[in-house]
Amino acid sequence: MSCDFKALATPGVQGLHPYLPGKPVEELERELGISDIVKLASNENPRGPGEQVRQAVSHVITDLSRYPDSNGFELKRALSQKFDIAENCITLGNGSNDVLDLLGRTFIRAGDEVIYSEYGFLVYALVTQAAEASAVVTPAKNYGHDLEAMAAAITERTRMIFVANPNNPTGTWLGEAELRAFLEKVPSHIIVVLDEAYTEYVALKDFPDGLKLLGEYPNLVVTRTFSKAYGLAAMRVGFAVANEAITDLLNRIRQPFNVNAIALAAAVAALNDEAYLTESVRLNREGMVQLEQGLAKLGLEWIPSAGNFLTVDMQQDAGPLYQALLHEGVIVRPVANYGLPNHLRISIGLPNENQRCLDALAKVLSA
């Protein structure tokens, strides 16, 4: 007997295509049999975990037979103290992707409309389609969000709006004045999700801190992650901050123990390690300059970025160049699935990794 199991799935799931992450080092090793690989594909912190994180993890290992604290009390307390936010306004997630999914499952219904920008993070589309809602994708402005177009796209069916600042994969950013002007136009019953996964890297004037806007806009939800500047991508820890009513609803469907004990301890340690964060930001800033200078020598252009990556215009179909770089042991990220077939996204690595990438680019471009 056979069964069409796809037909049993909900319509939203039937049409989904899985999110494609950056190629893992281990996969390239298996495919090509090469070693000494540089991975600059997933916007990770290239430094590895800090010493305080290592120590915190070692202390938890003896209790791995016990369930973690499902409420994440210690992490919520640390977040509350660092960012001056109430603990009952925090929802913890298995990475910020988890809380984005929670938001979709809590508030988006079949037939609703969800607004996000062209070149926006692909998870917004996945969340929307899984809920059987209609995606309203507004055209980008200089590769970033056109907030005026997004405000104009609001209808009586709009339920949620996703805004990333800085944006992934383009690195573009919004100033506080334009973000405030946009929030003023959004009706109070529409949830605005401000995705701030890369905010720790930003040192620009008039750049908004979403957490400080929450008191003024009750329909605002801010999401952040420990996967980038805090160096815990493998641990999968993220969080959302919103008013108490929204947070209560999110925690009703949040899976118990969705953040494991090692991740909880690591996140608390990372949050308290100011020196690690400061050095990571400094290294990223200098690496950004190194990459920009090298790319300029190669005659390439890129989208100005406030994150820890550059999206580079290869001035041709980037697919073959991506494959050629793999054979040089350098993994970057093709972004044709974002509608940018001529671009490659390159994460900022350690100085020697950045140079490896630049040397490999020079080689494949001259071939």
Query: Can you give the residue ranges of every domain in the chain?
Result: 21-48+275-366, 51-272
Residue 25: pLDDT band with limits 50, 70, 90: confident
Residue 200: pLDDT band with limits 50, 70, 90: very high
**pLDDT tens digits, residue range 305-364?**
999 999 999 999 999 999 999 999 999 999 999 999 999 999 999 999 999 999 999 999
1: pLDDT strictly greater than 60: no
- Asked if residue 137 lies in contact with residue 118, where contact means CB atoms within 8 angstroms, the answer is yes
Q: How far apart are CA 148 and CA 264, in angstroms?
A: 39
- Cis peptide leading into 341, omega within 30 of 0? no
When the pLDDT of each residue in the chain is averaged and rounded to a whole number, the result is 93
Supply φ then ψ for residue 144, to 5 degrees.
Answer: -120, -170
Percentage of residues in the chain having pLDDT higher than 90: 86
Q: Say what the pLDDT of residue 24 is.
A: 77
Handedness of CA 44, 50, 56, 59 (dihedral sign): positive
The DSSP symbol for 22 reads P
- Asked if residue 127 lies in contact with residue 99, where contact means CB atoms within 8 angstroms, the answer is no
**pLDDT tens digits, residue range 228-273?**
999 999 999 999 999 999 999 999 999 989 999 999 999 999 999 9
Q: How far apart are CA 202 and CA 216, in angstroms?
A: 23
* Domain 21-48+275-366 homologous superfamily, CATH: Aspartate Aminotransferase, domain 1 (3.90.1150.10)
Q: Say what the pLDDT of residue 16 is.
A: 61
Q: Say what the pLDDT of residue 241 is.
A: 98
Residue 171: pLDDT band with limits 50, 70, 90: very high
b/e sequence 198-221, b meaning 16+ C-beta within 10 Å: bbbbbeeeebbebbebbeebebbb
Q: How far apart are CA 130 and CA 39, in angstroms?
A: 31
51-272: CATH topology is Aspartate Aminotransferase; domain 2 (3.40.640)
Q: How far apart are CA 345 and CA 335, in angstroms?
A: 7
